[in-house]
Every structure is written in structure tokens, then in C-alpha cells.
Structure 1
Amino acid sequence: MNKDPYGKLASALYSSVGKHAKQAIGGVGAVLGTITDTGLKLDDFKHELQDYMVAELPGFFSVPRSMLLGTAVQAEQPSWGNKQMDTSFYVDKSEIKDVSLKLKLSPGDRVLAMQINGGNDAVVLCKVVNADG
């Protein structure tokens, strides 16, 4: 005869809740993947995803004041002839509003993706490369 029926019930509930929690969060989180010719192949999922999303980063682009070195060439000035002149170009600080950074991905690129909606959808966040180049 069972001396502790409540202990058995608690143990069964604990086990069941653990399984359901694991299933609910399984496939959720960041994962590495590879862009293919026809979609996205995540490292931890055996099927290729043809329907995935790519992060787009809307924002504000700011360029600091800088100097660029270059070569000036003839610009409809007959007195220049075929002369070229090395020169410096100064660019003032500028800001551009309503800029959107879009990822340019090619087949074979390794990416970091976030799985959302219980693992039903994937969003590619960025391209990843080795630290040594």
C-alpha cells in the first residue's frame, strides 16, 4: 500500500509540468543558421525555412567631420588639359534622417537568427563571421 499518495501526485505533476515547459520554450531563442539558395537552414532544425524574416534597422545616420584624400581630374576646364591634381576633400559633419540598414545576404552566409512565436517563425538578426576575418 502507498504511504504517501500526495508525494506521488506532486512528483507526477512536477514531471509533467517540466515536459510541457520544455516543449513550450524549445525552439525559442537565438540560433546560428546558413542562408541557402532557397531559404534559411537553422543549425538546430532539420528542415529548411523558405518563409523567414530579416531584421531591418531604421534609424538616423550621422557622419563625423572628416577629410578624404583623392585626385581631381579635368572637369570641363580647357585650361587644365589632361592634368590631374592630388587634393584633400573636407566633409562637414552631417546627419541623414530616415535611413534604413538592410542586410545583404547571399547563399552560404552564416547568420544569427532569433526564433519567435514558439519556434514557428525565425528572424535573421545579422550576418556572423569568424573573428579572424
Structure 2
Amino acid sequence: MSKDPYSAFVSVMQSSMAGHTRQALSGVGAVLGTITSTGLKLDDFKHELQDYLVAELPGLLSVPRHMYKGTSATLESENWEGKEPKTSFYIGEDELEDVNLSLNEGLKPGDRVLAVRVNSGNDVVVVCKVVNGRG
């Protein structure tokens, strides 16, 4: 009894495709990492990366109506020492155009980040800082 040649061919093709798929996806996906003083250290890669990208978020910032509490002073009240009048400042609702949230400016060594591999794993983009959810 000989084996069906088509079954053997299908088996070889399935095995080969599974291997290629594993290889193609091994360098792609999200990973946690740590910002260092000289670069980025990914949890699943033993070398530090000095060349990485950081996400920026351009857009429109909508600010709801809010209040600031504090003290107010005028030129005439400079020598009121300790007697500055307490006051509240109400800021109306507003929209600020062309706002850019630059994540890179807020990252410092030791910060944990979420990074995504792109371009078949050739580039890494830091998407956000990651903090403990328990407080």
C-alpha cells in the first residue's frame, strides 16, 4: 500500500507555511520595554536600541470649563505679606487647535513603555508610557 502522494504534498506545504508564518511574525507585535539613559531596552531583546521612534499625537484639545483657586496680587499689594486675597479663576470651555502631545518630552530613564515593532520588525515605535494599574 502506497501513501497518497497528494496527502504527503499537503503535509509538507502546511509544515512549510507554518514555519514561514512563525518566522514572519516573530519580529512583529507589541512588547514592553524600559527607557534607559542611552536608549530603549525591550523585554524580549537582549540588546539596547539607540535608534527608535516615539509617537506624537497631533490634534485638537478640548478643554472643559474649570476653576483654579489661588491668591491674587497687584502692584499695590506687594507689602501685604501673608494677607493676599484668596480668589477663584474660572476658565471657560475652549478648543485649542494644532496641539501636539509629544510623548518623547515626558519620558525619562526607568520609565516602562509599550513599543510596537513595524516595518517587518526593522523599526520600533514607543506608543505610550505604562504604569501600574493598582495605584
* Residue ranges of structure 2 left out of the alignment (5+ in a row): none
1:84 match: secondary structure: coil
In the TM superposition, residue 106 of structure 1 has moved relative to its aligned partner by 0.7
* Residue ranges of structure 1 left out of the alignment (5+ in a row): none
- Specify the alignment match of 1:3 in structure 2: 3
- Specify the alignment match of 2:100 in structure 1: 100
1:119 match: secondary structure: coil
Q: Aligned partners of 1:92, 1:20: CA distance in 2, in Å?
A: 57
Between 1:52-61 and 1:1-10, the stretch displaced more is 1-10
TM-score normalised by the chain length of structure 2: 0.89
Over 3 Å counting, the alpha-carbon distance change for 1:3 and 1:65 in structure 2 is: closer
Within a 5 Å distance, the mapping from 1:29-108 to structure 2 comes to 29-73=29-73, 75-77=74-76, 81-82=79-80, 83-103=83-103, 104-108=106-110
2:87 match: secondary structure: strand
- Specify the alignment match of 1:12 in structure 2: 12
Q: Aligned partners of 1:5, 1:64: CA distance in 2, in Å?
A: 70
- Specify the alignment match of 1:116 in structure 2: 118
User: Percent identity, aligned pairs only?
Assistant: 60
User: 1:22-81: per-residue Cα shift (whole Å, max 9, x none)?
Assistant: 1111121111111111111111112211110000000111211122211112x2126x74
In the TM superposition, residue 88 of structure 1 has moved relative to its aligned partner by 1.1
Q: Which amino acid aligns with 1:72?
A: S
1:37 match: secondary structure: coil
In the TM superposition, residue 3 of structure 1 has moved relative to its aligned partner by 2.4
Query: In the comparison of the two structures, how many residue pairs are matched?
Result: 131
Q: What is the aligned-residue RMSD (CA, Å)?
A: 1.6
Q: Is the 8 A contact 1:55 1:124 kept in 2?
A: yes
Q: Is the 8 A contact 1:26 1:118 kept in 2?
A: no
Q: Aligned partners of 1:2, 1:31: CA distance in 2, in Å?
A: 48
Q: Aligned partners of 1:44, 1:76: CA distance in 2, in Å?
A: 59
TM-score normalised by the chain length of structure 1: 0.90
Q: Which amino acid aligns with 1:34?
A: T
Over 3 Å counting, the alpha-carbon distance change for 1:41 and 1:2 in structure 2 is: farther
In the TM superposition, residue 16 of structure 1 has moved relative to its aligned partner by 0.6
In the TM superposition, residue 132 of structure 1 has moved relative to its aligned partner by 2.1
Over 3 Å counting, the alpha-carbon distance change for 1:5 and 1:108 in structure 2 is: same
2:72 match: secondary structure: strand
Q: Which amino acid aligns with 2:61?
A: F
Over 3 Å counting, the alpha-carbon distance change for 1:3 and 1:81 in structure 2 is: closer
2:57 match: secondary structure: strand
- Specify the alignment match of 1:130 in structure 2: 132
